[in-house]
Amino acid sequence: MRDSNASVPLKDSSAPVLVLASASPRRRELLWQIGVPHRVAIADIDERARSGEPVGECVQRLALAKAMKVWPAELPVLGADTAVVLDGTMLGKPRDRQSALAMLARLSGRTHRVLTAVALVTGKDRQLRLSESEVQFRELSPEECERYWQSGEPLDKAGAYAIQGLAATFISRVQGSYSGVMGLPLFETAELLDSAGVARWQNAVQPVGEAARRQG
């Protein structure tokens, strides 16, 4: 019997209703998950934090800067930025094997914060939302960290790990937004889209009512 709560597949041919100012496949996947057809425009900006800048302010500034880099556009523009924070220090994307292993060693057995900001720019206004989560890592062995590095997954990830990938086995607890840790908090994103009149759940293959009638 089909589960009435199962996700409804979407047609990839849907006309875009949004521009995503990011090349991240994870953010694209999350937008498709909530049924938002979109196109991508890569925003090439300086993502370095300013001296003394609080992390929350930094990710909000960068999310908005990414969206503004792409604006003006014929559609609303969504930008996002994510930071992994441990002991007050932002852990960016690792430069190489040594920096990745150092980050993983620091995260091992510890709880860290993940902050993701989302910005939406339209012809009328600019809006921001901030998501903050806590992630608990179990103890990691040096050998395990080395094997993880060899997988290639850590290289382009803040904090040198991907919660939705192989590193899922490192994580004992998440408090907050799983999608926010991935890089696009869907609750906050939906709030922004709704406030701007950008439709979600586009082009479901069949209406929920039809699915319920078939199950019944």
Residue-level pLDDT at 13: 47
Structure tokens at 154: 């850590």
Q: How far is CA 61 from CA 24, 79, 124, 125, 213, in A?
A: 18, 10, 19, 15, 47
Per residue of the chain (216 residues), give pLDDT as tens: 333 333 333 444 479 999 999 999 999 999 999 999 999 999 999 999 999 999 999 999 999 999 999 999 999 999 999 999 999 999 999 999 999 999 999 999 999 999 999 999 999 999 999 999 999 999 999 999 999 999 999 998 999 999 999 999 999 999 999 999 999 999 999 999 999 999 999 865 444 454 444 444
Residue-level pLDDT at 215: 45
Strand partners, 127: 120
List the one residue out of 210, 208, 203 whose CA is nearest residue 34.
Answer: 203
Residue-level pLDDT at 145: 98
Tell me which of 3, 44, 46, 81 is the catalytic residue: 81
**Cα–chain-centroid distance for residue 67?**
15
Q: How far is CA 38 from CA 9, 138, 147, in A?
A: 16, 37, 35
> Topology of 18-215 in CATH?
Maf protein (3.90.950)
In degrees rounded to 5, what are phi and psi of residue 80? -150, 155
| DSSP code, position 204 | B
Structure tokens at 58: 């930094």
- Kindly write down the DSSP assignment for every residue of 74-121, as one continuous string: SS-EEEEEEEEEETTEEE---SSHHHHHHHHHHHTT-EEEEEEEEEEE
Is residue 80 within 8 A of residue 28, CB to CB? The reply is: no
Q: What is the pTM of this model?
A: 0.86
The whole-angstrom separation of Cα 91 and Cα 164 is 18
Q: How far is CA 207 from CA 134, 204, 212, in A?
A: 36, 7, 9
Residue-level pLDDT at 6: 35
Clarify whether 81 is annotated catalytic: yes
Residue-level pLDDT at 183: 97
Cβ-based neighbour number of residue 51 at 10 Å: 5
Cβ-based neighbour number of residue 139 at 10 Å: 10
Residue-level pLDDT at 204: 56
Cβ-based neighbour number of residue 33 at 10 Å: 13
Is residue 16 within 8 A of residue 33, CB to CB? The reply is: no
Residue-level pLDDT at 202: 86
Distance between the two ends of the chain, CA-based, in angstroms? 10
Residue-level pLDDT at 5: 35
